[in-house]
Chains A and B, each alone.
Chain A
Amino acid sequence: MYKKIKILNKLFPFHFIIDENLQIIKKGPSLKKISNKDKNFISQFRFIRPGIGIEYTFESIKGYINQIFIVELLDNKSVKLKGQFIKSDDNQVLIFCGSPWVTDELQITEMGLTISDFALNDSVVDMIQVLKANKLENEDKLQLMDEIEKQKLFYDQLLDVLPIELFILDKNFKVTYHNISTNAIEKAKSTLFDYLQLKGIIADNLLNTKNQLSEVTKTKSKVSFEELYQNNNIENVSLRYAMPMDFSDAKESILTYSVDITTLKQNRDQIIQKNNELEKINLELDNLIYSITHDFRSPVLSIKGMLNMMASSNLINEEQAQYCKIIKETLQRLDDTIIDVLTYSKNARLNLTFSQINLQPIIENTFDSNKHIVNYPIKLEVNISQICPFESDENRLKTLLSNLISNSIKYSDNTQLNSFIIVNAIIDKQFCNIEVIDNGIGIMPEHHSKVFDIFYRATSKSVGTGLGLFICSEVVKKLGGSISLKSKPYEGTTFFIQIPNQFKS
């Protein structure tokens, strides 16, 4: 008997044994721990299961011997035991074999028990492990859900802040997602078009939007187009993009978003309008310059003619002839200025026209038509080396060379006996590099940086218009090249020009 009890204690530490009078004659060690010492079964336990039909008699219990019992400890209601009654061999006693009915790990500690109070074979032990694992898993899941919720909030807020209206549509253009904070979308019975109508889209534009979105579904391609809205006489323009949603599992869906471009469009329209106005003004200005130069030249030339006539007649004396000469020179300067202004405006408004250029005759002709400016001889030397044809804008190149060569003549040193001008040109596939070298009066260093400025004249003795080198630098700019100079007073000046060769082999 002692041995049996020991086994019983080991296998069912929560067992108890009752006799025919329902007196508890034996309790397992773990049950002892959580119950009082009352020997009466009725005052200590209550049946939970079976609930109906059972009576608190030895015979009644015996009748339920093959069923699961759940009994509650009356003075410790957190403890419920689950198990079964078995009869002793002699039918004298009933033995309850079971253990606490546990659904939660916490219950065990509440009952004042530890794992060691349970039999090793008790499934409660496993259950507790499972419960523990479940609990951890649940905690992880909660944490994950929390994280997802946070991220969702982040993206929702992000999409809220973005100045775009974003929609995801199903294949019937019903809205399955949108980032708009108004409730217009719910009122609009949920297709995009209903919403756009509420927003005041113009009928034609709505039709276009429908067609464009159908196109996206059909061709699986991205489209973008403008939408015009009208609300209380205020017009708004949106730029809408729509594309098939080929990412995530949203097959057959359309992603579409629109940006309000009203201000951008207004600005652009204003710029276009201003530009048109400016172009018109520019044209008028060009015409004005052209008319003015013509109208200015006409009287200048007629005075010049009259002076020629007067000078060649025998009617005037030497002094008067001298006056005529001075008037003629002054007139010539006025005429030069008029011509320079015209040249400048031509360079600014006429398009570039490229053709093949032969430098040698241009240089020689320019020199020939200017050498009379001074009454002493000047030697011209031209050295051209080229490995391929040279193409550029001929008229502009002539203007450039004419200004530089006539400058070299105008500012030659009349105290020199061997005044010269050397023009060197090296032409390769990329550039034409030209040097115009003279041994004239030179330019003082302080003027070097300013000679290309408009109306800048280095000396009051200068006979120029103050436009020549300015025109040169403008022409070179237009041709995409560069111009610079090196000069020493009383020794001479060298201008360096580099012009891109437009020749394409």
Chain B
Amino acid sequence: MTKNFILVDDDPIFNFLTGHTVENSSCSGKIYSFTEAIEALNYIQGLGESYDNKTIVFLDVRMPVISGLDFLELFHKKISKQKQEVFDIYMLTSSLNSEDKEIALSFDCVKDFLSKPLEFAQMEKICGE
């Protein structure tokens, strides 16, 4: 099954690393990288209501201007309920703050809270879901 991937991290190295892991996984699909969360949100909004390709979002928590948590709130507000279900969001973070984890997991669209860097085994598990 083809899945699309959206990578959001202000550090391009992580986007590169995560992209590499995705490319080497059993998943196949397009990869879109963003270093600013607002661009990623604009992209998702631009996809139109009929967009229904399962899409995995790897989202960093701590980012300047709009943080990962801000992104989740905006996503929840601006994207229609039906469209939201197309997206599985995985938080990818170096944060050790358990509060961040609690807040993130309170959003339905957030599937898991993972520690950087994304391990190959974790990627395979996500592919299988």
Contacts and interface: CB of A to CB of B under 8 A. Distances in A.
B106 interface: no
Contacts of B29: none
Nearest to B95: A294
A304 interface: yes
A209 to B, nearest CB: 52
A214 interface: no
Interface of B: 11, 13-14, 17, 20, 62, 94-98, 115-120
B97 A301 contact: no
Interface string A329-361: 000000000010010000000000000000000
A300 B117 CA distance: 10
Nearest to B60: A298
Contacts of A339: 96
* Secondary structure type dominating chain B contacts: loop
Contacts of B98: 395
Interface residues of A, number: 17
A370 to B, nearest CB: 15
Contact of B94 (A294, A309, A312, A395): A294
Interface in A286-341: 290, 293-294, 297-298, 300-302, 304-306, 308-309, 312, 339
A296 B100 CA distance: 18
Contacts of A305: 13-14, 17, 116-118
Contacts of B13: 302, 305-306
Closest 3 pairs between A and B when the two form their complex, measured CB to CB: A305-B117, A305-B17, A297-B94
A301 B62 contact: no
A195 to B, nearest CB: 60
Contacts of B11: 298, 302
Among A293, A298, A309, A342, the one with the most B-chain Cβ atoms within 10 Å of its Cβ is A298
A395 B97 CA distance: 12
Given A294-B94, A298-B94, A305-B17, 14 more contacts: A293-B96, A298-B116, A301-B94, A301-B115, A301-B116, A301-B117, A302-B13, A305-B118, A308-B120, A309-B17, A309-B20, A339-B96, A342-B96, A395-B98
Interface of A: 290, 293-294, 297-298, 300-302, 304-306, 308-309, 312, 339, 342, 395
26 contacts: A290-B97, A293-B96, A294-B62, A294-B95, A297-B94, A297-B96, A298-B11, A298-B62, A298-B94, A300-B94, A301-B14, A301-B94, A301-B116, A302-B11, A302-B14, A302-B17, A302-B116, A304-B117, A305-B13, A305-B116, A306-B13, A306-B17, A308-B119, A309-B17, A309-B20, A339-B96
Main secondary structure of the interface of A (DSSP, over half): helix
Contacts of B115: 301
A18 B14 CA distance: 152
Contacts of B17: 302, 305-306, 309
A305 B20 CA distance: 10
Most buried by A among B11, B17, B118: B17
A306 B16 CA distance: 9
A312 B20 CA distance: 11
A290 B94 CA distance: 12
Nearest to A308: B117
A294 B68 CA distance: 14
A361 B52 CA distance: 41
Contacts of B97: 290
Contacts of A312: 120
A305 B120 CA distance: 10
Contacts of A308: 117, 119-120
A259 B17 CA distance: 73
A302 B115 CA distance: 11
Which of A300, A302, A342 has the most B CB atoms < 10 Å from its CB? A302
A304 B116 CA distance: 9
B20 to A, nearest CB: 6
B35 to A, nearest CB: 13
A301 B60 CA distance: 13
Contacts of B118: 305
Contacts of A304: 117
B98 to A, nearest CB: 7
Contacts of A293: 96
